[in-house]
Amino acid sequence: MSELYGYVGSIVRINLTESTFELIPTSKYVPKYIGGRTVCNRIFWDEVAPGTGAFDPENKLIYMTGPTGATGIPTGGRSVFTGISPNSYPEQYAWSGIGGFVGAELKFAGFDGFILEGKAPTHTRILIQDGTVQFLPADDLWGMLVHDTQDALEKIHGPKVQSIVIGPAGENLMRNATLTTSNDNVAAKSGFGAVFGSKNLKAISILGSGAVKPADIPRVFELRRRMGDPYMRKTPVVPETTHGMDGNMIPVEGGWGRGQVACSHGCNQHCNRLMMGIKSAFSDEKINQVEKCVGIFAYGYKEDCSWRPSQTYETPENHVLACKMLSCEPPEPGLDDPYFEDLMKPVRGDIVNFWKPDFDKGAVMMNMCNEYGIDKWDVIVWYFTWLSMAKQEGLLDDLDFGMEVDVENEEFVRYFLDMITYRRGKYGPIFAEGMARAIRTLGKEKYGDAIYHGRFSQELGGKRLDLPVSLETAWGHSYHWQGRGFEGTISKPGWLATSLELMTSTRDAQTIAHHHDKYTNFLQYKDDPCHSDLLLDAVVLDENKAEMKDSVMCCDWQSPDLWWPEMESVMYTAATGIPMTQEELNEAAERSRLLFRAIIIRNFGRDRDMEVNAIFPTMQYPDAHGETVTWEDWNDFVDLYYEKRGWDKATGWPTRETYEKYGLADVADELEKAGKLPQ
Amino acid sequence: MEKERRFRPHIVQTAPDDSFCAGCATCEIACGLIHEGAVSPSYNRIFLGRDHRTMVHTVYACQQCEDHPCYENCPKKDEAMCIDERGIVYINEEACIGCGLCRKACVMDPPRINLVKSKDRAQRKAKKCDLCRGREEGPACIQWCPVRCLYISGGEEQ
């Protein structure tokens, strides 16, 4: 092969059953499938048959970097896992992004990605080093906490080694177990830590000494200046004396330090979410750990977070990247914006009264999630919110956990997380299956659908609003940016869009595709969003941008930039030297999305009835403004969306014409044989 | 007793209360791209020591020892390893045979000289920070560090 830019040339197939590996040329998939999640989707479609379960050896975990990885293009160091998710309800194909330095190191070792298949006969770890794969015993690591595992691997392989590991949660097949790499970066959303555990795989360590070349170095440096609008200034550790936001803010005795942390190789816009000098769950020494957006609620959750329209709707004068919001360091607002007051008006979150602020207890909860390898989202905004609501509603009187349920008691937090991680007692195994399954095992009507009476809308003058104790939305996930539950404060057009994005997905899509649109569009559809072509354009744009950023690879927090729509195509061409227009990249994103759609149709029986019935009930509880959506309006909205996508309105299945338009005639052929192509 | 070691101006990392290294590796990346047109742990002349547990990271670069043991141990002294008008040791890669003796002679831990390992002997080269000798903008790592946590020391004693 002539000089290769961006990609390094091979994907390695790792067979754990046979302890063998083989190389696949990356060129089998690119440039048509770009990289990252798009390549994963193609591989999964080609290789994993219907009927396969998450914990079956036949389930494959496919890991891909993108062509921007290790090129110096900002946040190209991110990467993605896909496979059958044990945490989705029901089990379905899903994905989970991860930052850190493993993606770059894998490329230095000569691989653009790997396919994990089979099941190791005994506890195993893998070492990938400069073109080779070794299968090594892991009995001595099995049972270790996440950081202890990382330390042990550094001791063996030296400080430069980059590892992906699981903790006890993954070993014990907890369905929301994470994969963890450096800087507390995790692939959390899909429970792939449990898939590692099911394959007897404790860790993958990577050492590489090779090189990655971008095609256009001056453009790489231009991107470093422009993407994310980096401050390029000193960022000292900031001594903090308080913690939290809105009604959850508390003073912190002794204080703590807030530092910058880069979540991926080459990030040029860091988040100031490194918490320094906080309580550990496992030792008397103070520790540092990274707090992401949901983490802040571990410490105190009396009130849901507030929302400003500018977080979702943008103008030329005021468009702020999500990373600037996360770091609470937005640029100076554009005061000459005619919509300035509307955009900046804060909308207070609902009073929810889940738990009062307690800095040390929150730190312990976060630390235990990090060390056991559990998805913090599920712990903070599902397990513990459910425990709080169920307790307040008197639903737990018949359940004996062995300790009084008290979500404000640090000892109970420790007890409960131990119980579910190690599957202890009667209820440990039930909750280790994740909340969606636990609620059904206990009895959904009582333990899921019961109404919590402690939610009060600040937007409606303190009016009490219904909320189910389950907080469950579609596919085994809890509400997120959907008008109720966590980050529930956005207005109706916003949660209609995010709910539609979730409806056609298999997991919480909002950690990837935070919904964005231009404010002038919002003004046109705000009174009748369900019949708006403009709103659907925004949904399609956000969904396609999510595919792009998981394929070209950049951070969730830097894309989409509505005022720089060609950003991802510029990144792609700078990395690879392959000309790629914004339109061509959008076609590749459509192709990726179609492959995803084809997989969930063929392997998991997805159709219109299934997905509409999964999402619609979740929107029957009022949002912070008392709004819901009717069956008729929602179905009109879905009709218009399917039509825009080129999917059949009756079944929700893409038509042959649509598959062929994006170069997937072979996929259409197979679906036709399976009777999954619209007549 | 070991003699007091003296250094010429070199790349140093500021204290966390001045600016905190976020661990993004931009210093390594810029170094590799500017000098080699590639990003690689074998090519960079500056090194990011990552602490995965504490997330407090340390940047390492050549401290430009005044007695330059690397230069003294080079079998092709003044051909492969040379000293410029500032007293800074730099590598002439055309002449470097990649023997690694300079790296072995480095008194720092970890060693501040990188070595390209290759089956092709002609590709084996030593890489060492020379403060981006001849580059108008100065050291690339300083220019591109997003948090401005690197600077050139005024010379100090250890």
Which residues in chain B are closer than 8 Å to A290, comparing Cβ atoms?
A: 55
Residues 6 or more apart whose CB falls under 8 angstroms from that of A215 comprise A5, A6, A573, A574, A575, A576, A577, A578
Selected for mutation to probe chain A from B14, B29, B137, B141 (highest A CB count within 10 Å) is B29
- A229-279 tens-digit pLDDT: 887 899 999 999 999 988 999 999 999 999 989 989 999 877 788 999 999
Q: Which of residues 107-136 of A touch B (CB under 8 A)?
A: 108
Q: Which of residues 615-644 of A touch B (CB under 8 A)?
A: none
The DSSP annotation for B61-111 comes to E---BTT-HHHHH-TTBTTTEEE-TTS-EEE-TTT-----HHHHH--SSS-
Q: Are A244 and A357 in contact (CB under 8 A)?
A: yes
**Does B54 contact chain A (CB < 8 Å)?**
yes
**Does A224 contact chain B (CB < 8 Å)?**
yes
Residue contact A234–B55, C-beta within 8 A: no
Residue showing tokens 């006890």: A168
Q: What is the mean pLDDT of residues A18-35?
A: 98
Cα(A419)–Cα(A172) distance, rounded to whole angstroms? 11
pLDDT for A66:
98
Q: Tell whether the model's pLDDT for residue A154 goes beyond 80.
A: yes
Q: What structural domains and CATH numbers belong to chain B?
A: 11-152 (3.30.70.20)
Q: Which residue in A has a C-alpha nearest to residue B31's C-alpha? A: A72
The DSSP annotation for B7-47 comes to B-S-EEEPPTTT-------HHHHHHHHHHHSSB-TTT-SEE
Q: Tell whether the model's pLDDT for residue B157 goes beyond 80.
A: no
The DSSP annotation for A432-491 comes to TT-HHHHHHHH-HHHHTSPEES--EETTTTTEE--EETT-B-GGG-B-BSSSSSBT--S-
Residue contact B52–A183, C-beta within 8 A: yes
pLDDT, mean over chain A: 95
Q: Which residue in B has a C-alpha nearest to residue A232's C-alpha? A: B146
Residue contact A236–B30, C-beta within 8 A: no
Q: Tell whether the model's pLDDT for residue B5 goes beyond 90.
A: no
> Range with the lowest mean pLDDT among A11-25, A501-515, A606-620?
A501-515
Strand-pair partners of A250: A243
What percentage of chain B reaches a pLDDT higher than 90? 88
Q: Tell whether the model's pLDDT for residue A291 goes beyond 90.
A: no
pLDDT for B2:
58
Q: Which of residues 60-89 of B touch A (CB under 8 A)?
A: none
Q: Tell whether the model's pLDDT for residue A330 goes beyond 90.
A: no
- A401-457 tens-digit pLDDT: 999 999 999 999 999 999 999 999 999 999 999 999 999 999 999 999 999 999 999
Which residues in chain A are closer than 8 Å to B52, comparing Cβ atoms?
A: 147, 150, 154, 182-183
pLDDT, mean over chain B: 93
Name the pLDDT band for A321 (thresholds 50, 70, 90). confident
What ranges make up the beta strands (E) of A310-404? 313-314, 351-355
**Does B25 contact chain A (CB < 8 Å)?**
yes
The runs of H, that is alpha helices, within A201-330 are 217-226, 296-299, 322-326
Q: Which residue in A has a C-alpha nearest to residue B149's C-alpha? A: A234
Q: Which residue in A has a C-alpha nearest to residue B36's C-alpha? A: A213
What is the helix, strand, coil percentage profile of chain A, to 5? 40, 20, 45
Cα(A452)–Cα(A621) distance, rounded to whole angstroms? 11
Q: Which of residues 286-325 of A touch B (CB under 8 A)?
A: 287-288, 290
Residue B21 or residue B156, greater confidence: B21
| Token pair in block for residue A277 | 């000098």
Least CB–CB distance from B42: residue in A209, A234, A262? A209
Q: Which residue in B has a C-alpha nearest to residue A231's C-alpha? A: B146
Residue showing tokens 């404060």: A489
**Does B124 contact chain A (CB < 8 Å)?**
no
d(CA A448, nearest CA chain B) in Å: 38
Q: What is the mean pLDDT of residues A469-489?
A: 94
Cα(A228)–Cα(A559) distance, rounded to whole angstroms? 9
Q: Which of residues 188-217 of A touch B (CB under 8 A)?
A: 208-214, 217
Q: What is the identity of the amino acid at A596?
A: F
Does domain A10-207 fall into CATH 3.40.30.10? no
Which residues in chain A are closer than 8 Å to B29, comparing Cβ atoms?
A: 72, 265-266
Name the pLDDT band for A165 (thresholds 50, 70, 90). very high
Which residues in chain A are closer than 8 Å to B143, comparing Cβ atoms?
A: none
Q: Tell whether the model's pLDDT for residue B158 goes beyond 60.
A: no
Q: What is the mean pLDDT of residues A301-309?
A: 93
Strand-pair partners of A84: A93
Domain(s) labelled CATH 1.10.599.10 in chain A stretch across 495-507+517-611+620-673
Q: How many CB pairs under 8 A join A and B?
A: 124
pLDDT for A328:
67
Cα(A54)–Cα(A62) distance, rounded to whole angstroms? 13
| Token pair in block for residue A34 | 């770009």
Residue contact A212–B38, C-beta within 8 A: yes
This model of the complex carries an ipTM of 0.96
Q: Are A200 and A66 in contact (CB under 8 A)?
A: no
| Token pair in block for residue A652 | 């929700």
Which residues in chain A are closer than 8 Å to B100, comparing Cβ atoms?
A: none
Q: Are A376 and A188 in contact (CB under 8 A)?
A: yes
Count other Cβ atoms within 10 Å, centred on residue A171.
26
| Token pair in block for residue B31 | 């170094």
pLDDT for B155:
54
Q: Are A267 and A100 in contact (CB under 8 A)?
A: no
Residue contact A213–B38, C-beta within 8 A: yes
Closest CA to A50 of A638, A606, A668, A544: A606
d(CA A290, nearest CA chain B) in Å: 9
* Dihedral sign of CA atoms A193, A197, A199, A200 in order: positive
Selected for mutation to probe chain B from A268, A288, A329 (highest B CB count within 10 Å) is A268
For A495-507+517-611+620-673, give the CATH class. mainly alpha
Q: Tell whether the model's pLDDT for residue A9 goes beyond 80.
A: yes
Q: What is the mean pLDDT of residues A19-43?
A: 98
Selected for mutation to probe chain A from B52, B135, B143 (highest A CB count within 10 Å) is B52
Residue contact A259–B33, C-beta within 8 A: no
